[in-house]
A and B are shown apart, each in its own frame.
Chain A
């Protein structure tokens, strides 16, 4: 028989647990303890408010260009909550919410946003990689980490974040292929936020989903409602368990929406409609999760209000700390010569000394 059906990826699933209207699939609902639920909510709210404040600091010239996370908090926090401190977090440049969950210093983040390299400092021994700007370039790094983990017979997992735009880059395909071939403990987390600057998802790829791209590399793929933090958590746990138990990588597609600008240098109204934005505002993951928690009787309006005011003073404190630190850092322009090499070579010492002495170039 010359033509037979190939048994390639017969099914592709979409996971949704907590719907837009607050409807809940009780069979799929994870059994999370109250403390964890409230912590997920606290970090979501903190990320949202931190984003709002950063936008106002950027607009008033106090910090530079940054990439807001607004709308993607459930996607990031839901999946990243599935890894533990010993696991590896490999972000792109919009993972503020996930980084906050991981315990990143928000003061450092403000320094970074204000253009100080010191804000990017990683503590020795940290398993959280710094921000990676060139789209998709961090995916192969996650693969290499996965290889090192596998070789050391450790039970750590690597979780790497990227967007829908990244799936067009060669690095995405090369990384998935490597991870598949070597059977590595990597969770590939695509936040499909529908737009890569001005390019909509359906012009980014002719594929009907991003999750299906996993099939080409022999990995499982799962599409998830990225504005449903319960579904993101469950999908993350499933993929992390697969990776940790030696069953290899997974590609997760978290369908979400960039409610704000690509970066503060961008104007979305040039390319997308307010109707579309409104439709996604209605799917905002934050009020959806709040309604769920209120329904469960573990959160109420007073508690939200109290948390809001705690967060507000926390962020004010972060700004005060960052401002103080910036004033100190600004006194040290010669810092630009640090950390290029372990030991500063002679030519850089000469250039640094010449700068300090107000000499020539």
Chain B
């Protein structure tokens, strides 16, 4: 990217809208479908204005049926289109789980490469917006666990835009999980020119020597706060923003932890059988003998995300991350 590229300050909602708009503009096979994505512009307004620009044939307000949305998107992809399906909340995506696991993930494999599914399934996930039950969970492992899917989670407006564009262009199905807590809580410069980033590649957001933080999605901001605080006290950290949860960028993890010997993994998902478990396992597999301290996991508890009065008691915060970092550094 050139230094003089035109930039605009955007929220994640706006940058996702930009990605959809530009991909629809440049590739007429791209279309959107989901509940309230048309005239309403999506319940979070991610598809705002696209209905007017591209019409109801390409921005499709569907009846209320998640399974049919995903199954229909599959058929559209087989038929030569590039559907981007929106599910309103991760908590409602399980209606579609059967289509996702039984078919979306398997078509390339089942047809032995004769058919494939260039499709994206978008859904907001995560807590922190005072929402109702089923509107706050982080069950990314459900999707990360399934072979044949790519599970992508942006952390900010700029990479959200670039990752969504990459997901739409990807030849395989991508589960695109949007941290709703980050939808409007901050802005970033986003280049006006289309931008992509490779799916499956983590980004080293801070470079340091003493400690590695591994995180993604809405956890990046509190992690950066801790890393910057530590830097003020002379402790320098690597901060890895995974951006893709599956397939996991184990090379990036290995490289960083081999160098620092200490790692703190931060996710808002549950702890047991969660994404942090897989990340720690990959560290143990690859760089166990380089470790100078036990790897720390900072995660959500193994309970349903409580109703919103106590959702911040569930969520990992700066204090938890800082304490874990201290433990990792003390040994």
Contacts and interface: CB of A to CB of B under 8 A. Distances in A.
Interface of A: 64-65, 93, 112, 114-117, 119-120, 131, 133-137, 165-166, 168-171, 196-199, 203-205, 263, 265-266, 270-271, 326, 329-330, 333, 335-337, 340, 347-348, 351, 355, 359-361
Nearest to A334: B313
Nearest to A130: B133
A360 B310 contact: no
Given A64-B130, A65-B130, A166-B64, A361 B298 contact: yes
A198 B64 contact: no
Contacts, number: 130
Contacts of B134: 133-134
B64 A165 contact: yes
Contact of B307 (A93, A117, A203): A117
A360 B40 contact: no
A203 B35 CA distance: 11
Interface string B59-101: 0010111111000000000000000000000011011000000
Contact of A198 (B36, B92, B303): B36
B53 interface: no
B58 interface: no
B110 interface: no
Interface string B288-319: 00000000111101111011111101101000
Given A115-B309, A134-B91, A360 B298 contact: yes
26 contacts: A64-B130, A115-B308, A133-B91, A133-B132, A133-B134, A134-B94, A136-B64, A165-B63, A168-B65, A171-B95, A197-B43, A198-B36, A198-B38, A198-B61, A199-B63, A203-B61, A205-B63, A335-B306, A336-B301, A336-B306, A336-B314, A348-B303, A351-B271, A360-B320, A361-B297, A361-B316
B95 A270 contact: no
Contacts of B324: 360-361
Contacts of B133: 131, 133
Nearest 5 A/B pairs, CB to CB: A115-B309, A115-B308, A198-B40, A168-B63, A165-B64
B106 to A, nearest CB: 20
B39 A169 contact: no
B266 to A, nearest CB: 9
A73 B200 CA distance: 52
Contacts of B298: 360-361
A197 B36 contact: yes
Nearest to B133: A133
Nearest to A64: B130
Contact of B303 (A136, A203, A340, A359): A340
B272 interface: yes
A203 B311 contact: no
A361 B308 contact: no
B24 to A, nearest CB: 20
Nearest to A271: B39
A35 to B, nearest CB: 37
Contact of A115 (B91, B130, B303): B130
B7 interface: no
